[in-house]
Amino acid sequence: MKEILLAHGGGGDEMNELINKLFFKSFSNPILEKMEDAATIELKSPIAFTTDSFTVNPLFFNGGDIGKLAVVGTVNDLVMAGAKPRYLTCGFMIEEGFLFSDLQKIVKSMQDEMEKIGVKVVAGDTKVVPKGSVDGVFINSSGVGEIVQKNISSHNIKAGHVLIVSNEVGNHGACILAKREDLDVETSIKSDCALLWEPVKALYEAGIAPIALRDATRGGLSAVLNEWAVASNIGIKAYEEKIPVADEVRGICEIFGFEPYEFANEGTMVLALKEEDASKALEVLKGFEVTKRASLFGVAVKEYEGRVILETPWGSQRFLESPKGELLPRIC
């Protein structure tokens, strides 16, 4: 099998061959193997339930690919809701003529990510569409998880709560942009694409109850902070020098006139915490590779309700606006 043919999505022998040679090889588990019309799963309620579609261009980038992104994106949304991720579904929309070897790589990287935290694909779907109907492959993924930490919400932030960002911001967006524009820095900018379950679980185990959690995906840090300021009817004061940004990302932003705070991240979260939890939380986060650059960068304030104030290293202030329009289509 060299290329994916329309027949591979046809529901007949060719499709069974694709399922057996590819998807079952990587995703196999007793629930999936039953091959019923729907998976039967048992969960302790309440549950978190999420869905996302992935259309990233290019499909392969420094630090990941569309498969890893689908697992990470879906899992992280469950984690941000206070859930332990359990089961995923995945639907593949594949363009006729797509290379089987590329599909293998994508499926393998999904498997690698899922194995890290023990989540499983329990239902899937494959469609093959005529050449030109999609660009390579698109993936839709839904996920369910069991809520292990209640009351995490963007509506609960109060003046005095502090804000931590778990990593440098803008790496995923800058990495995709550099690859598309074929820039020399492409090799040095790596997407932050990573699962956040382990560090968040460690926070719970350390007795920390986050007020709010959000992965700063599309719209980046700016979108999260502006959404939180509105949802909780507070002002947010952020100190620019405390927000970690890689030099290469800063450089790319200067070339293209972007703000690193508006670039998408795929393994970077923002946490709102009680002030007394902040130092312990930083200590926990710094113990994990994916969150070792965590930094306390801001605080919720009574003034400027619904707005985000960015204070520069020179003490001047400006509003950090919510991103407008579409900076970079097909980022995730």
Q: Which residues bind Mg ion (CB under 5 A)?
A: 77, 215
Q: Give the nearer residue to Mg ion in terms of CB position, either 215 or 240.
A: 215
The closest of 8, 1, 2 to 126, measured between CA atoms, is: 8
Nearer to Mg ion, 52 or 95 (CB): 52
Work out whether strand 60-61 and strand 162-165 pair parallel, antiparallel, or are unpaired.
unpaired
Residue 217 CB, nearest approach to Mg ion (Å): 5
Select from 84, 260, 251, 71 the least CA-distant residue to 167.
260
Compare residues 219 and 235 and give the one whose CB is closer to Mg ion: 219
User: Least distance from C-beta 161 to Mg ion, angstroms?
Assistant: 20
CB of 71 to Mg ion, least distance (A): 14
CB 254 to Mg ion: min, Å:
28
Which is closer to Mg ion, CB of 168 or CB of 215? Answer: 215
Is residue 172 within 8 Å of 263, Cβ to Cβ? yes
3-state secondary structure of 37: coil
Q: How near is the Cβ of 211 to Mg ion at its closest, in Å?
A: 16
> Which is nearer to Mg ion, 26 or 226 (by Cβ)?
226
In single-letter form, the type of residue at position 226 comes to N
Q: What percent of the chain is helix, strand and coil (3-state, nearest 5)?
A: 35, 25, 40
Q: What sign does the dihedral 67-72-78-80 (CA atoms) show?
A: negative
Q: DSSP readout, 135-162? A: SSEEEEEEEEEEE-S----TT---TT-E
Tokens of 36: 């019923």
Residue 264 vs residues 177, 234, 308: alpha-carbon distances, Å: 11, 24, 18
Nearer to Mg ion by C-beta: 79 or 121?
79
Toward Mg ion, which CB reaches closer, 106 or 224? 224
- Alpha carbon distance 148, 229 (integer Å): 26
Q: How far is the CB of 99 from Mg ion (least distance, A)?
A: 31
Instruction: Please state the closest distance from residue 26 (CB atom) to Mg ion, in A.
Output: 25
- Residue of 56, 24, 243 whose CA lies nearest to 135: 56
Min CB(80)–Mg ion separation in Å: 5
Whichever of 52 and 198 has its CB closer to Mg ion, that residue is: 52
What is the length of the chain? 332
Nearer to Mg ion, 72 or 285 (CB): 72
3-state secondary structure of 319: strand
Reduce the DSSP state of residue 235 to 3 states and report it. Answer: strand
Q: Which residues in 207-316 belong to E strands, given as ranges?
A: 212-215, 235-239, 269-273, 295-301, 308-311
Smallest separation, CB 282 to Mg ion (Å): 22
Q: How far is CA 293 from the centre of its chain?
A: 17
